[in-house]
Structure 1
Amino acid sequence: MNLKKQSMSQFSIQQLRAAFPALRETDNKKPYIFFDGPGGTQMAQQAIDGMIGYITDGMANLHGAFPTSVKTDALLLDGRAAVADLLNCLPEEVAFGQNMTSLAFSIARSLGQFITGADEVVVTELDHRANVDPWVTLANDKDAGVKFIKVSPETYTLELDKLEEIITENTRLVAVGMSSNVTGTVTDITRIIARAKEVNAIVVIDAVHAVPHLTMDFKKLGCDVLLCSAYKFFGPHIGIAAIAASLFEKLPVYKLKPAPQEIPDKLETGTQNHEAIAGLIGAIAFIESQGEGTTRRERIVSGMQHIEEHELQLGERIESFLRSIPEVNLYRAPAGTPKTPTFAFTLNQVNAREVTSWFAERYNMCIADGHFYASTMADKLGVNPMGGWIRIGLAPYNTKEEVELFEQGLQEFISERVRK
C-alpha cells in the first residue's frame, strides 16, 4: 500500500477529514459535529473499504483448500500483524473477540484456574466497569478478596500513595485502566505494573480509551493482558486482546475439543467476524497514513504523534474555556497530570440530558451524557442525580471551528437556561 508521507508541519485536518465519509456535507443533510469520540469514533474510509472488499470479493470460513478460504486464513494473519505493529506485541499474542467486555469475561474465566480463596484481586474506582466486574466476578467465584484503588474526589486521579498496602503478597491480579473514558486522566500504570510484578501478580490493562490517543508499547509496559476495541480508533466493532505469550501459553480456556490448542487461536471460540478484522486492518492503515517512516510500526508511531499534537491543541482550548465558566463544574485532573482530550462536566441545577438534547437539536452536535459505565466514580462524586456527566470528547477529525461552535452553544445554553 502506498501511504502518504507527511511531516508535522504538513498535517492537514482537511485531508484527514476527507478520510471519513460521515463528515461529508451533502445538499440535503446538515452535517453532524461529532464530539462523542470516547463512545466510538467514526469509521475511516480505509476501514469501510476493507470490510466491503472482503465481503464483495467472496467470503469463506477458515482452513479450506479453495481460494476464498485461503484468503480468509491470510486475513487473520494480516490482522494480527497489523495489531502487533499498533501495540508493539507479537502477532501470536493477538486474539480477537466480540468486544473488550466479552474478552475480559472470557479471560477472567480462564484465569480462575490460578485464583484461590487466599488470593486478592485489585481493581480501581476510576475504571469503566468492563475492567472491574469481570475480575470482581472472578474473585467472588473463587471466594477471593477484592480491593479497590481509590480515586481522589479532588484530583480525579488514583490515590497511589498506599499502593504497597493495597498490592501485597496476597495479590494475584491487578486490573487498571490506562486512561479514564470520563475524565481523560492518564494513570501512572508504569508504577502500578512495577509494584504488581514485585509480588508476581498478573496485570490487566484496559486501553480502550487510550489507544485512540496515545502511542502503545505492550513490550515496554510489561503487562500481561492489554484490551482495546477497534471502534474507538476509526474501525468496526471488534474486541482485541494482547496477551503475553508466557501467560497465554499456559492459559486454560473453555473451548471445543477439536478447536486449535495453540495461541492465539485457542481463545477465539467459534467463527470470528472476518469482515470486521478486514475493517480493523483498514483502521490501522488510516493511522499509518498519518505518519512517516520505513516500517509500519514507525509510521503508526509517527501518525499517533501527529494526532496527539492536533488533539492537544484543541483540548487545551476547551479546557481553558470550560474552566472560565462559573456555572461549569469540570472534572479534570490538575496541570501536570497527563490527560486525553476528554472532558466531563456538569452544570449547576441542570440535568445532563437536557444539555445534550439541546446541543443535538440546536447545533446537530453529538455530545454524550451519563455515567459511561464508570459507575463507581459516578456514585462517589454524586453526579447521578443530575443524569451523570456531560462529556465532550475529541477525535483527530475535530476542528477549531467545531470547538468554537461548542463554546458559542454552551454560552447560549447557559444564558437561556441557567442565568435566566
Structure 2
Amino acid sequence: MIDVPALRAHFPALRPGSGTPTAHFDGPGGSQVPDVVAAAVSGTLTAGIANRGRVTAAERVADDTVLAARAAMADLLGGEAGGIVFGRSMTALTFDLARTLAAGWSPGDEIVVTRLDHDANIRPWVLAARRAGVTVRWAEFDAESAELPVANVAAVLSERTRLVAVTAASNLLGTRPDVAAICAAAHGAGAVTYVDAVHAAAHAPLDQAQLGADLLVCSPYKFLGPHCGVLSGRVDLLESLHPDKLLPSTDAVPERFELGTLPYELLAGTTAAVDFLAGLAGQAHRVAGDRRQQLLAAMAGVDEHEERLRRRIEDGLAGLPGVTVHSRAARRTPTLLITFARATPDAAYRFLAERGVNAPAGSFYAIEAARFLGLGDGGGLRVGLAPYNDDEDVDRLLAGLGEFLS
C-alpha cells in the first residue's frame, strides 16, 4: 500500500491553507503536480543551459537532461531508452507517426482502429488513410459490457492490414482490453501495433514488450508530470522509418523524430515525476539502481489503492436513484462514466464544482465511444481517481451526488 498522507503532503494544491479544499476527480484530464516536479522544472529553467552537446558545462546539462528523461520513461514503460521520442503532445506525436507510416501504405491496404479509443488514436490514422487511399476497418466494443473483445479486432484483420491502433485503457470508460492478445493477432496479420497508453500509464504497471506494442504513447501530465508527449518505439522499427525533418538535423534515432529543440525543463520534470512514482514503492522495494522494479511495485500499490476507492464509489452510487454506471468491464482503471435518469451530466458537474468537488462532464475526446453508447457528444459525468485521492474525497463526492439527486 502507498502512504497517501505522505504523498499528499508533496502537492501544494492539496495542502491545508492552499485555498478552498477541492476533491479532485479530474485526474484523467491531467493530474495535480507534486512539489519535486515543479522544482525540477524551475531548476532547469534557471540553470546554465544550452543546446545539447558535450563541450561546455551548459551543453552537458542539456544533454544529460534528455538522456535522463529517456532512461526514466523506458523504466516506466518497459521500453528501450534509445526508442524514447519526446514531442509536444501524444496527439502531435501520433499525427507525425501517422504521416510517416502512411508513406509506406498503398491503395488496397487496410488499417484498424477501435470505437473505444480517444480520438487522438483514431483521427490521425483515419486522415492518413484517406490521403493514402487506404481502407479503415472499425473494431466495435460491446456497449453493454464496455468490453473490447479480441475477437472483434481479429474479425477485421486481413493480409492487407498494415496497422492496428488500440488503447491500453479507455479514458472515457476505463476499459482495459487484452492488448497483448490484440497485438499478437495484429502481428499474425503482419501489422504494426500502435498502443495509446495515455490513460493506462497513470494507473497500473506497464511492460511494452509483454504487451507486444511496436509503438506506445503516453503523456506525463497524466501521471503527475508536466505537459508533453512521449512515444516508446521498437528501435529497429524507428530506424526503418524516415520522417520529414530539417536538412541539418541529425538522422540518428530517436532524435530524427524530434522536431526542433526539446523543452529541457519539461523533460527534467518528467524524470522527476517518474522518480516520485518510484518512491511510492516504499523502503522495502528500494533496490539500488533498479528503478524499474521500484516502479513496478509502486504502480501495483497505486492500482490497489485506487481500486479500493473505486469500489467504495461504486457501492455508494448503487444506493443513489437513477444513476447509470457505464464503466462495466472486468479489467478497468478507476474511472467511472455515469449518467442520470432525471438530470444532465453537465448539471451534476456544475453542482459538484460549487461544493469543491471536481468531476467534469463530457465525452473527453472519446467521441466515437460516447456516440456508440448513445450518449452523443455530451457524454457523461466522469469520476476519475489518482494516487492522491483519499476516503475523505470519496465521502465528499458521494455526499454531493446524494444532495444533487435528492
Q: TM-score range by the shorter chain?
A: over 0.9
Runs of 4+ in 1 over 4 A off after TM superposition: none
Cα shift at 1:67: 1.3
Percent identity reads: 37
Counterpart residue identity of residue 76, structure 2: L
Aligned match of 2:403 in 395, 408, 412?
412
Q: 2:278 maps to what in 1?
A: 288
1:129-166 Cα shifts (integer Å, max 9, x gaps): 00001111111111110011102111111243344331
The reply to whether residue 364 of structure 1 matches residue 359 of structure 2 is no
Report matched runs for 1:230-269 at 5 Å. 230-269=220-259
- Contact kept, 8 Å, 2:183 with 2:193, in 1: the verdict is yes
Is structure 2 residue 366 aligned with structure 1 residue 374? yes
2:198·2:217 contact (CA, 8 Å) conserved in 1? Answer: yes
Q: Which residue of 2 aligns with 1:127?
A: 117
Counterpart contact for 2:322–2:342, Cα < 8 Å? no
Bigger mean CA offset, 315-324 vs 255-264: 315-324
Q: Equivalent of 2:27, from 19, 37, 54?
A: 37
Q: 1: CA distance between counterparts of 2:399 and 2:356?
A: 13
Single out whichever of 182-191 and 200-209 deviates more from structure 2.
182-191
Aligned to 1:346: 339
Give, in angstroms, the shift of residue 48 of structure 1: 0.9
**Which residue is equivalent to 1:397?**
388
Distance in 2, Cα, partners of 1:41 & 1:164 = 35
The alpha carbon displacement at 1:330 in A equals 0.8
Cα shift readout 1:222-245 (whole Å, capped 9, x = no counterpart): 211000000000000010000111
Q: Is the CA contact 2:154–2:182 (under 8 Å) kept in the aligned structure 1?
A: no
CA contact under 8 A between 1:113 and 1:252: conserved in structure 2?
no
| Separation in structure 1 between the aligned mates of residue 152 and residue 186 of structure 2, nearest angstrom | 13
Partner of 1:384: 376
Q: Comparing 102-111 with 160-169, which one deviates more in the overlay? A: 160-169
Aligned to 1:306: 301
Contact 1:259–1:266, Cα closer than 8 Å, also in 2: yes
Residue in 2 aligned with 1:212? 202
Find the residue that maps to 2:103 and give its secondary structure: helix
Q: Which runs of 5 or more residues in structure 1 are unaligned? A: 1-7, 416-420
- C-alpha offsets along residues 66-100 of structure 1, whole Å, 9 cap, x if unaligned? 21121101110111011111111111000000000
What residue is the counterpart of 1:3 in the other structure?
none
Q: Structure 2 regions of 5+ residues with no counterpart?
A: none
Cα drift, residue 61 of structure 1: 1.9
Indicate the residue corresponding to 2:311 in structure 1. 316
2:72 to 56, 69, 82: 82
Decide whether the 8 Å contact of 2:23 with 2:396 is kept in 1. Answer: no
- In the TM superposition, residue 108 of structure 1 has moved relative to its aligned partner by 0.6
Aligned counterpart, 1:418:
none
Question: Aligned letter for 1:318?
Answer: I
Code of the residue aligned with 2:361 in structure 1: it is D
- What's the CA shift string for 1:287-308, capped at 9, x where partnerless? 0111124211111111111111
Give me the whole-angstrom Cα distance separating, in 2, the residues matched to 1:160 and 1:310. Answer: 28
C-alpha distance in 1, partners of 2:138/2:158? 13
Q: Distance in 1 between matches of 2:383 and 2:224?
A: 17
Deviations 1:250-309 (A, max 9, x none): 111110011111100000010111100010011001101111242111111111111111
Q: Residue 382 of structure 2: SS of its match in structure 1? A: strand
2:48 to 34, 43, 58: 58
How far off is 1:59 after superposition?
A: 3.0
Distance in structure 2 (CA, Å) of the matches to 1:312 and 1:192: 25
Q: How many equivalent residue pairs?
A: 401
Quote the offset at 1:64 in angstroms.
Answer: 6.4
Cα gap change, 1:148 to 1:41, in 2 (>3 Å): same
Say if 1:149 and 1:160, in contact at 8 Å, map to a contact too: no
| CA distance in structure 2 between the aligned counterparts of 1:384 and 1:239, rounded to whole angstroms | 28
Q: Judge conservation of contact 2:320–2:405 (CA < 8 Å) in 1.
A: no
The SS at the match of 1:343 is: strand
Query: Aligned partners of 2:45 and 2:259: how far apart in 1?
Result: 22
Bigger drift between 229-238 and 349-358 goes to 349-358
